[in-house]
A and B are shown apart, each in its own frame.
Chain A
């Protein structure tokens, strides 16, 4: 059937609009990051810089003591450590949890209980957790953030994976049990490969949630040892005179690791793996 030209036009217009809404802010961030500071403050605004200025990036990629670069690179390291650890711990714990919720019903109360964490505003947890971490001597350490982020990521990952385990035909797993696989082997050899797309999605979203978290990081960290990127960016913006070029460059660099992770996980996000094992 041939599509009406107007419909085609509208369809493409919608696609372009969507693409622009995603690309434009990033493009503008990039342009700001390579502009001269004067270009960004002149009126009327110069949309494209006359000379490309990479000074901001140079300032950020140095470990000189007391420099902005030092703050940024340490924050990058802290963010990576915290986000990756919290993600891995959460997803690793979520796999058996989700599987047991899916395959051994009767514990729905517990499953819904995990949602309680989401039902309260984070600010309700800040004080009790602050006191706890203070007692444990964990304030201003990556551990505090890893623990807090796990409480956020674990319920999310458990729900996401559980719903995907639910969709797997149980007979495939029973076939594996008859083939002599233990419960853990069934999860490892059969169930996990079949929910690869969901696993990729869980990893990616968990990583992004942890990477972007600001509130707890702001409260529980205060210097290079544990401060994460969102807090560091906030600090850059909070000075006497805001350096737009620098903040843009930080933004660009801070977006790179999740982007790489997304590209890496994208392949596993492609679904449709479960087709063909059973009649369908």
Chain B
């Protein structure tokens, strides 16, 4: 068990431009934290710095209140599961899992007990004699997790562990990882670019972009109260619609205007800039039976069974609006005119610097 403290962690490669630009983060004991962000945002690099596979250019990394910058990877009390599994191809499953314990000089009987127990937890007992190449992707990933478990780490590090698996297996492994976290109660840090994994697995999510943290919070905090336009657009599928608007005051609020056929009223009393960006998630747009603030034509309809996603082009808007409806709207088809209502309770407003404006009182 261990907590982690990251204090102004930076990573600079040869060209002096930092790829990790000063990360401050506290991860509590037993917490499941997900690092999420687009490729190249530094999330994997940071994970590898925690594991000790990359040097920390400056700043302090504390694992269990002990400065770990210069501690060898094997002595940090961390275990890592790689995206590519990174199993030892020439060793059996048993030996793959036993290798770390052998290196640590653990007595044979103890190795046997530990490996057998881990294999039971992961339900791979029947595979112990096989070589990695005789295993399926899901089984390999389980062995990789097993190899990490036997070391009894204080912190579990996962580097996109499920992205090589097919969709159904990914869902299954996601559930198992969640269960594993509950059973073992170990601190886990999980890197992914898959927002579904992030939302479902994490106690807290850390959103990275361009080498710094955009926001840290629980999945629902990030979903309902994104700190800025990046976080708002990154989480949620399809992603949030952004509509540039001008603001005009009325007696009981404001009117956001983005063209003759796209305007909406918000009951805002707070001061607002003259122009801003309105953010609205696809699931917070609805079809209106009566003529309404937003009128357009359906460009494309995707019937997903349980839900329908339609894309609506509105005169005056550069980008089409995506709208997510429940599966009962089978009658929708491309080319139809449509009126949309905005669920004003779920509107997000962003200023010129893309920061979120608090407008709800």
Contact = CB atoms under 8 A, between A and B. Distances in A.
Interface of A: 169, 171-172, 174-181, 185, 189-190, 193-194, 273-279
B89 A179 contact: no
Interface residues of B, number: 32
Given A275-B133, A276-B131, A279-B137, A177 B89 contact: no
A56 to B, nearest CB: 46
B53 A178 contact: yes
Interface string B115-153: 000000000000000011111010010000001000100
B80 interface: yes
A189 to B, nearest CB: 7
- Most-contacted residue by chain B among A169, A171, A178, A181 (CB, 10 A): A178
A172 B131 CA distance: 15
A279 B84 contact: yes
17 contacts: A174-B86, A175-B86, A178-B51, A178-B80, A178-B100, A179-B74, A179-B99, A180-B74, A180-B103, A189-B88, A276-B133, A276-B134, A277-B85, A277-B132, A277-B133, A279-B83, A279-B85
Interface in B149-172: 151, 164
Contact of B151 (A169, A179, A273): A179
Contacts of B135: 276
Interface string B54-90: 0000000000000000000111001110111111111
Contacts of A177: 53, 73-74
A276 B93 CA distance: 12
Contacts of B52: 178
B104 interface: yes
Given A178-B73, A180-B74, A180-B104, A171 B90 contact: no
A26 B135 CA distance: 46
A194 B86 CA distance: 13
A194 B89 contact: yes
A176 B99 contact: yes
Chain A to chain B: the 10 pairs with minimum beta-carbon distance, closest first: A276-B133, A277-B89, A180-B74, A179-B100, A278-B84, A180-B103, A171-B86, A175-B86, A276-B132, A279-B164
A185 to B, nearest CB: 7
Contacts of A174: 53, 80, 82, 86
Given A179-B100, A189-B99, A279-B164, A273 B89 contact: yes
A236 B316 CA distance: 98
A278 B133 contact: no
